[in-house]
Amino acid sequence: MTWQQWLSQAVSRLRASQSPSARSDAEILLAQQTGVARTRLLAFGETPLTDAQHATLEALLARRERGEPVAYLTGEREFWSLPLRVSADTLIPRPDTECLVQRALDLLSPGRAEVLDLGTGSGAIALALASERPEWRITGIDRLPGAVALARANAARLGLRNVQFHEGDWFKPLQAQRYRLIVSNPPYIKADDPHLMQGDVRFEPRSALVAGEDGLQDLAAICRGAGAHLEPGGWLVLEHGWCQGAAVRGLLADTGFGQIATLRDYGDNERVSQGQWSPAQA
* Burial of 138: CB neighbours in 10 Å, binned 0-12, 13-18, 19+: buried
Give the phi and the psi of residue 270 in degrees, each rounded to 5. -60, 120
154 is in an annotated binding site: no
187 annotated to bind ligand = yes
Please compute Rg for the chain using Cα positions. 21
Confirm whether residue 185 is marked as ligand binding: yes
Tell me phi and psi for residue 137, to 5 degrees. Answer: -110, 120
- 200 among the known binding-site residues? no
121 carries a ligand binding annotation:
yes
Q: How many CB atoms lie within 10 A of CB 111?
A: 9
**25 labelled as ligand-binding?**
no
266 marked among binding-site residues = no
269 has binding-site annotation:
no
CA distance 224 to 216: 12
Q: Is 122 annotated as a binding residue?
A: yes
* 8 A C-beta contact, residue 124 and residue 80: yes
233 is in an annotated binding site: no
Query: Binding site annotation covers 159?
Result: no
Binding residues are 119-123, 142, 170, 185-188
Binding residues for substrate are 185-188
Binding residues for S-adenosyl-L-methionine are 119-123, 142, 170, 185
